């Protein structure tokens, strides 16, 4: 283990907490999902074995735990496919976490997996150590198998369902991660009801697929990002202003969310947790909880299998490499000017169109990785998903306002369903902020005048 001593309290600009996605196999995966641009990141480490070594694992766990000045530390694994490391790697992780955790600290273990390798042994281990498992499923078999295929090109749905059965058999908590793309975006209710009614999911995340490319690599990218028998293969970088044919449409994602929201808000609040709906409610009560919809970011990093720390999981590319944790303590990299600037740029580079936007308090321009379109007056830096965000945040404004008020009164947001049942809640209709006078109450439900509230949540 590399021992680098740092007085955490003395590190200037160090955040009290941050999140790291550990990639113990780098980009290596047993599947070959067509939209998974991360597969191409294998090209950043030619000749590597793509396995996190034991001494690096210990360095990582030690640094991560000692850097956090909050009671809960999340040790989060993703890939590639982390289960390819084998179970012993994760047993060692749990052992090391116990060795280094500070008095009063609680460790939360999480893993994002494609589920195909899960069996009794894995799931008994997850249950014993309270792992929270994120399972990638894109909807029904037909939708899922369109892009989530194995190395031979066959769909992975049946294997994933077998993995889910093991998770359920052992009572492991799971979260469905569903990417939204060309093959499922037109079927929001089928997708949502499948997760809720067929899979018995209580936690669901919807993640838009936006594969950004320029015209030179578009034809290759449309084929996919994996290695293909000596054929030409593109490396995914955040450049270009085109998207692949698999990507969700600019408004399509918003329509997808709105349809699901209308069903959820009338029957599932408090039972089914859809991450984006929760995060949006957080914005309505001035507590943004997801980097994508926070004013600034920079506290969600990615660690490669060799100790290289990157600014974000979406920016694992040379320009965003902060350093290696075997040479420089993680907290110094997280607090570095380069990383703090990365986080501030999210706010500092907002186009005027966003600064003037009526739903900026909930959107904050979205993730910088998707800001590659122009505003109506030609300013660059507008989010590809802006039309979706406007659709969604306006559509949910009234019910969100009601739920936010319930929360402020320390009542359960789920009470909104009673209002709907009695026909007393407004339908989730578009809130027209343009009609809101500056001295009128803000439609977000905060109770403040619009002029004092708008954009300042």
Question: Can you give the binding site for ligand SF4, defined by CB under 6 A?
Answer: 291-292, 297, 300, 312, 314, 346, 353-354, 357, 359-360, 363, 365-369, 383, 386, 389-390
Token pair for residue 67? 């850097």
Nearer to ligand SF4, 166 or 236 (CB): 236
The distance of closest approach from Cβ of residue 61 to ligand SF4 in the complex, given in angstroms and rounded to an integer, is 22
Nearer to ligand SF4, 62 or 314 (CB): 314
Is 407 within 8 Å of 281 (Cβ atoms)? yes
Nearer to ligand SF4, 53 or 207 (CB): 207
Query: Beta-carbon neighbour count of residue 410 at 10 Å?
Result: 6
CA 86 to CA 101: how far, in whole Å?
Answer: 23
Is 11 within 8 Å of 331 (Cβ atoms)? yes
For 322-361, letters b (16+ CB in 10 Å) and e give bbbbbebbbbbbbbbeebbebbeebeeebbebbeebbbbb
The distance of closest approach from Cβ of residue 8 to ligand SF4 in the complex, given in angstroms and rounded to an integer, is 21
The distance of closest approach from Cβ of residue 334 to ligand SF4 in the complex, given in angstroms and rounded to an integer, is 12
Nearer to ligand SF4, 187 or 353 (CB): 353
Chain centroid, CA 318 distance in Å = 22
The distance of closest approach from Cβ of residue 375 to ligand SF4 in the complex, given in angstroms and rounded to an integer, is 8
The distance of closest approach from Cβ of residue 386 to ligand SF4 in the complex, given in angstroms and rounded to an integer, is 3
- 313 catalytic? Reply is yes
Q: Which residue matches tokens 């902020």? A: 433
Nearer to ligand SF4, 349 or 427 (CB): 349
Omega before 80 within 30 of 0, i.e. cis: yes
Residue 299 Rama label (left phi>0; alpha psi -120 to 50; beta): alpha
The distance of closest approach from Cβ of residue 301 to ligand SF4 in the complex, given in angstroms and rounded to an integer, is 8
* Catalytic hit among 214, 227, 278, 313: 313
Nearer to ligand SF4, 201 or 312 (CB): 312
The distance of closest approach from Cβ of residue 354 to ligand SF4 in the complex, given in angstroms and rounded to an integer, is 3
The distance of closest approach from Cβ of residue 432 to ligand SF4 in the complex, given in angstroms and rounded to an integer, is 15
By annotation, the residues acting in catalysis are 313
């Amino acid at each position: 283990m590399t021992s680098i001593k740092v007085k955490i309290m003395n590190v200037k600009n160090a955040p009290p907490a941050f999140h790291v996605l550990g990639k113990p196999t780098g980009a290596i995966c047993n599947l070959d999902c067509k939209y998974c641009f991360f597969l191409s990141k294998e090209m950043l480490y030619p000749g590597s074995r793509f396995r996190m070594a034991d001494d690096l694992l210990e360095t990582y766990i030690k640094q991560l735990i000692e850097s956090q000045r909050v009671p809960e530390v999340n040790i989060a694994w993703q890939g590639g496919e982390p289960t390819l490391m084998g179970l012993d790697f994760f047993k060692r992780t749990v052992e090391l976490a116990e060795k280094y955790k500070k008095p009063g600290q609680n460790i939360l273990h999480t893993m994002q997996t494609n589920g195909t390798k899960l069996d009794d042994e894995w799931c008994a281990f997850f249950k014993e150590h309270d792992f929270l498992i994120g399972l990638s499923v894109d909807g029904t078999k037909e939708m899922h198998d369109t892009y989530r295929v194995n190395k031979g090109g066959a769909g992975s749905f049946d294997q994933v369902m077998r993995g889910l059965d093991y998770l359920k058999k052992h009572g492991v908590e799971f979260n469905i991660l569903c990417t939204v793309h060309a093959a499922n975006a037109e079927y929001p209710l089928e997708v949502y009801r499948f997760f809720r009614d067929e899979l018995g999911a209580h936690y669901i995340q919807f993640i838009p697929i936006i594969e950004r490319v320029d015209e030179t690599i578009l034809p290759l990218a449309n084929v996919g990002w994996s290695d293909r028998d000596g054929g030409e293969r593109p490396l995914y970088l955040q450049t270009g202003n085109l998207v692949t044919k698999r990507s969700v449409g600019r408004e399509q994602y918003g329509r997808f969310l709105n349809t699901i929201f209308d069903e959820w808000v009338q029957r599932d609040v408090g039972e089914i947790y859809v991450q984006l709906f929760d995060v949006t409610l957080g914005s309505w009560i001035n507590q943004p909880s997801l980097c994508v919809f926070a004013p600034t970011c920079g506290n969600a990093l990615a660690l490669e299998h060799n100790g290289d720390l990157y600014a974000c999981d979406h920016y694992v590319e040379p320009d965003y490499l902060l350093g290696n944790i075997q040479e420089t303590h993680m907290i110094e990299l997280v607090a570095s000017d380069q990383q703090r600037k990365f986080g501030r740029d999210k706010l500092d580079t907002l186009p005027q169109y966003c600064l003037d936007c009526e739903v900026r308090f909930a959107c904050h321009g979205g993730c910088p990785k998707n800001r590659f379109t122009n505003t109506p007056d030609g300013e660059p830096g507008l989010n590809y998903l802006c039309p979706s965000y406007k659709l969604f945040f306006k559509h949910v404004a009234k019910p969100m306002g009601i739920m936010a008020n319930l929360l402020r009164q320390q009542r359960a947001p789920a009470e909104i369903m009673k209002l709907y049942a009695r026909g007393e809640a407004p339908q989730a209709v578009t809130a027209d902020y343009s009609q809101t006078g500056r001295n009128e109450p803000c439609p977000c439900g905060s109770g403040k005048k619009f002029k004092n509230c708008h954009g300042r949540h």
